[in-house]
C-alpha cells in the first residue's frame, strides 16, 4: 500500500521490477513519476521511463556490461 497525502488532483505513478537471483535475496527496484497537474500533461509512464527503469535495474544489480561491436 502506498499512501499519498495532498490534493486529489495530483497523480503519482510507480513502476517496479521484482528481481530474483538464486542464492541472493530478492530486490524491488522502483521509480515514481510525479505528474504535473496541467491540462494536457502526460498522466502515465512513457516507454522511455520503462526503458530507464530497466537500465537502472541492470546497473544496480551489477549485471555485466555489453560492449558495442
pLDDT at 18 (0 to 100): 92
pLDDT at 14 (0 to 100): 87
| All structural domains of the chain with their residue ranges | 12-60
> Using one digit for the tens of pLDDT, what is the confidence trace for 11-66?
778 899 998 888 989 989 988 887 766 777 777 788 898 999 998 888 888 877 66
Question: At CA 3, angle to CA 9 and CA 30, rounded to 5?
Answer: 95
pTM of the predicted model as reported, rounded to 2 decimal places: 0.62
Would you say residue 9 has pLDDT above 70? no
DSSP 6-53: S-TT--EEEEEEEE--TTS--EEEEEEEEPP-STT---S--HHHHHHH
Q: Are 26 and 20 in contact (CB under 8 A)?
A: yes
Amino acid at each position: 500500500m502506498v499512501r499519498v497525502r495532498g490534493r486529489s488532483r495530483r497523480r503519482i505513478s510507480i513502476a517496479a521490477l521484482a528481481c530474483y537471483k538464486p542464492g541472493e535475496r530478492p530486490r524491488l527496484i522502483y521509480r515514481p513519476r510525479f505528474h504535473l497537474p496541467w491540462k494536457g500533461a502526460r498522466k502515465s509512464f512513457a516507454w522511455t521511463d520503462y526503458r530507464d527503469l530497466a537500465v537502472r535495474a541492470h546497473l544496480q544489480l551489477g549485471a555485466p556490461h555489453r560492449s558495442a561491436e
